[in-house]
Amino acid sequence: MRKALLVFALVAFLATGTVFAELTGVGEPTVSGSVSTTFGYDLDNEGSGFVNDSSLTLTLPLLDGSMTKGGDDGMYGEITVKEIGFQLREGEFYDVEEDDTSADASILAASLSAKLVIQDLFVKLGNPDFEMNNVDVGTSYGFDANAYKNDQLENWTGGLSAGFMNDLVTVELMLASEKDYRDSTDDEILDVDDYNGPFNNDTDDEGDVPLDTYTANEDNNYVFGAALTVAPMEGVSVPVTFSYDADAQGDDALIAVGAAPSIAMAPVTVDIPVDYVGLGDLYGFEAQPKVSYCLTETGGSNVALDFLFGTYEESIAANPLGELSFTFTETETKGFVPALAAMLEVSVTDLMDYADKDADIGWDVDAEASYNANGLKPYINGGYGSNEVFDLGVGVEMAAAFTGFDNTVFTLDYTNEALTESEDKTTADESGRVTFDVTVSF
């Protein structure tokens, strides 16, 4: 509650305009919600019953924008406020950037940053962003190149960055410290005496030891970083990041390098994200080139070829992985056939027999299609793969244009995740489920 009150006080102070000449981004409150009732029947166990669900979201965006202190265009200081506000969902308050699975219900998180600008030069105050996450392979693989990223620095005291920026290139140098200059050598500084100041735990509160008697922590840890982005022409961007932590784990240094070159020149888009991290004898490397070609206008039907490659050293042996997928997408509004939406994905997995996967190369084919006939939208989807299990779903949605109810959708659906038996006999034959759902939204 104290944190929330401090944030509200800060917002009120900034909103007076005493310090900043310009205030932008105050959002409008919004409210949305829905209520649904679903009746289902399981064809296997002959079970049936109702499921009711409801949701309500009330968003109060207090502040989301930037304020610029007085000065000319060539020299000024700027402070930015990001997404300060509340959402009320399911009877609890969340920060506007949190979801309802967050453990931070009722917490109002202030996201503030500041920047000093002198022509093309800038200095950012606050903890720098060392995160890469250019290639997201999940947690099923070994020494993931994103295992050590920005979240390990959340509890650091802070830092700053400085750089140069114009239309062609942006260069940024970053520095952060693990502890602040007031930390004691034993890292225990939370006792408080009559003067409301923190003191070393080795001293009794009644000793009234002043703050300046702290022993400075001479063994502080710093992480260095650099970021470079080159944009030689419209649609072409080459961002590269680097960070170095000399004492990330014992005597082992952490070196992380990431890049995400992108070329977008209609109708072709090429992305080549790359991540590398090294920590002592361990390392992880990942690359995921992707080429897509838009067959119709931008945002319409397209085809894409995506390849994921990685290799990891896990103290015993290197384990490479490889996955390849081809995807065709037909969109409902800008595709070849108006009102038709479709997707076909063919993927080959475990090309290199990664240790944590099955010994054989796997494959999957997934497809889905729907046709929106003025509010009556029948659909079908299915999938089959090396597990020899066929999935099927068919149904129809009846929306406002068809039913006359402007805020109501009726859905009749049949779903079966295992029409056939798998080769290893682990999946039994099933008849599936039939459900009928009515959802009213506002």
pLDDT in tens, 124-151: 888 887 877 788 776 555 555 555 554 4
Q: What is the pLDDT of residue 197?
A: 39
Domain presence at residue 44: yes
* Residue 259 reports pLDDT greater than 80: yes
Domain presence at residue 52: yes
Domain presence at residue 100: yes
Q: Number of folded domains in the chain?
A: 1
Tokens 């070159």 found at: 261
Q: What is the pLDDT of residue 101?
A: 64
Tokens of 239: 């961002």
CA distance 114 to 76: 11
* Residue 208 reports pLDDT greater than 90: no
What is the three-state SS of the chain? CHHHHHHHHHHHHHHCCCCCCCCCCCCCCEEEEEEEEEEEEECCCCCEEEEEEEEEEEEEEEEEEEEECCCECCEEEEEEEEEEEEEEECCEEEECCCCCCCCCCCCCCCEEEEEEEECCEEEEECCCCCCCCCCCCCCCCCCCCCCCCHHHHCCCCEEEEEEEECCCEEEEEEEEECCCCCCCCCCCCCEECCCCCEECCCCCHHHCCCHHHCCCCCCCCEEEEEEEEEEEECCEEEEEEEEEEEEEECCEEEEEEEECCEEEECCEEEECCEEEEEECCEEEEEECCEEEEECCCCCCCEEEEEEEEEEEECCCCEEEEEEEEEEEEECCCCCCCCCEEEEEEEEEECCCCCCCCCCCCEEEEEEEEEECECCEEEEEEEEEECCCCCEEEEEEEECHHHHCCCCEEEEEEEEECCCCCCCCCCCCCCCCEEEEEEEEEC
Contact status, residue 87 vs residue 96, Cβ threshold 8 Å: yes
Q: How confident is the model at residue 287 (pLDDT cuts 50, 70, 90)?
A: very high
CA distance 334 to 368: 17
CA distance 270 to 290: 6
Chain Cα centroid distance, residue 289: 20
Which of 2-6, 80-84, 276-280, 429-433 is the most confident on average?
Answer: 276-280
* Tens of pLDDT, residues 339-391: 999 999 999 987 876 655 556 788 899 999 999 998 899 999 999 988 788 89
Contact status, residue 312 vs residue 318, Cβ threshold 8 Å: yes
Taking residues 60-77, report their average pLDDT. 70
Q: How confident is the model at residue 425 (pLDDT cuts 50, 70, 90)?
A: very low
CA distance 162 to 227: 10
Cα angle 318, 321, 325; round to 5: 170
* Tens of pLDDT, residues 399-424: 888 877 888 999 999 999 887 765 55
Q: What is the pLDDT of residue 380?
A: 97
Q: What is the pLDDT of residue 326?
A: 97
Q: What is the pLDDT of residue 343?
A: 97
Domain presence at residue 308: no
Range of 19's domain? 1-119
Domain presence at residue 108: yes
Q: What is the pLDDT of residue 191?
A: 41
Q: Point out the least confidently predicted range of 244-253, 279-288, 390-399.
A: 244-253
Domain presence at residue 209: no
246: nearest Cα among 157, 177, 163, 181: 177
Q: What is the pLDDT of residue 179?
A: 76
Domain presence at residue 200: no
Domain presence at residue 99: yes
Neighbouring CB atoms inside 10 A of 142's CB total 21
Contact status, residue 135 vs residue 273, Cβ threshold 8 Å: yes
* Tens of pLDDT, residues 157-194: 678 999 999 999 999 999 988 777 766 544 444 444 44
Q: What is the pLDDT of residue 154?
A: 52
Q: What is the pLDDT of residue 300?
A: 87
Contact status, residue 412 vs residue 395, Cβ threshold 8 Å: yes
Tokens of 166: 């114009």
Q: What is the pLDDT of residue 178?
A: 77
**What's the start-to-end Cα distance of the chain, in Å?**
32
Q: How confident is the model at residue 429 (pLDDT cuts 50, 70, 90)?
A: low
Q: How confident is the model at residue 107 (pLDDT cuts 50, 70, 90)?
A: low
Taking residues 73-79, report their average pLDDT. 80
Residue 345, Cβ density class (10 Å: 0-12 exposed, 13-18 middle, ≥19 buried): middle
Taking residues 52-61, report their average pLDDT. 81
* Residue 11 reports pLDDT greater than 60: no
* Residue 318 reports pLDDT greater than 70: no
CA distance 416 to 424: 19
